Amino acid sequence: MTPAPAPSATPPILEVHGLSRSFGGVRVIEKLDLAVAGGEIVGLLGPNGAGKSTLFNLIAGVLSPDAGSITYQTRDISHMKVWKRRRLGVGRTYQIPKPFTHMSVFENVLVGAVHGAGLSIRSAREATLDTLELTGLAGSMASPAGALSLLDLKRLELARAIASRPALLLLDEIAGGLTEGECDALLSILAQLHARGVTMVWVEHVLHALKRLATRLAVLYGGQIIAQGTPEAILSDPRVKEIYLGA
């Protein structure tokens, strides 16, 4: 097992301790511990059914834990409502983009700025225009979201999350289904976002994307983090290869 990183003098932006969650009689998350330092990009690996989506839903507030705690910027948010977490700076994307298809690209992102970040309409419009420039969607701002290509739907999903001004962004398979060139375009956006100071926890099966940007990988299996370390160390770990890569 790869040892966890040495403790930092600065409190982590996100700390999950002893987290557990069951559905019926099935324990999906079991006494899980994970700490994420500000400025990290932590890639979360694990086979299907490992509990990755459940963990994201717990951090984002869609689900409540049966036991354990979730601390964000030293504040316990374990049972806080989703919208309150958004206002504090916890953003997320979904594996399958969920735009308002009848609304324009601009209006979709504006919703994130108003309701996610709690901005006034004037400030939200400015934030929306900045976000559209960052994500390469400025030229499509008047287009209906339902008419976008897969890459632009992924951009829009990301833009809606960025508009809520997250300090911590949960990315759920944002590169899935993209060609190599499309993936490169998306990674460029994420790199710019990271340069602005956004911390990320990223569930992804496109390993070359994680290797490009992740500062650390953590492997989730059996409801627990069983290994974590640099991308090179984790992807060459025999146990990880056996569990995740099927080697």
Residue 22 has pLDDT above 90, yes or no: yes
pTM of the predicted model, to two decimals?
Answer: 0.91
Please indicate, yes or no, if residue 5 is contained in any of the structural domains: no
Structural domain tally of the chain? 2
Please indicate, yes or no, if residue 132 is contained in any of the structural domains: yes
- Cα distance between residue 194 and residue 235, in whole Å: 23
Supply angle C-alpha 113, 114, 118, rounded to 5. Answer: 100
Residue 67 is predicted with a pLDDT of 97
For 25, list phi and psi in degrees, rounded to 5. -100, 10
**Which residues constitute the domain of residue 140?**
90-165
Residues 100 and 71 in one domain: no
Residue 7 has pLDDT above 50, yes or no: no
Residues 64 and 115 in one domain: no
Residues 77 and 173 in one domain: yes
Residue 3 has pLDDT above 70, yes or no: no
- Cα distance between residue 116 and residue 84, in whole Å: 9
Q: How far is CA 162 from CA 29, 127, 152, 155, 182, in A?
A: 28, 9, 15, 10, 19
Please indicate, yes or no, if residue 69 is contained in any of the structural domains: yes
Residue 171 has pLDDT above 50, yes or no: yes
Residues 69 and 133 in one domain: no
Residues 147 and 123 in one domain: yes
The share of the chain scoring above pLDDT 70, in percent, equals 95
pLDDT band at 110 (very low <50, low <70, confident <90, very high): very high
Residues 100 and 215 in one domain: no
Residues 173 and 214 in one domain: yes
DSSP 53-89: HHHHHHHHTSS--SEEEEEETTEE-TT--HHHHHHHT
Residues 42 and 160 in one domain: no
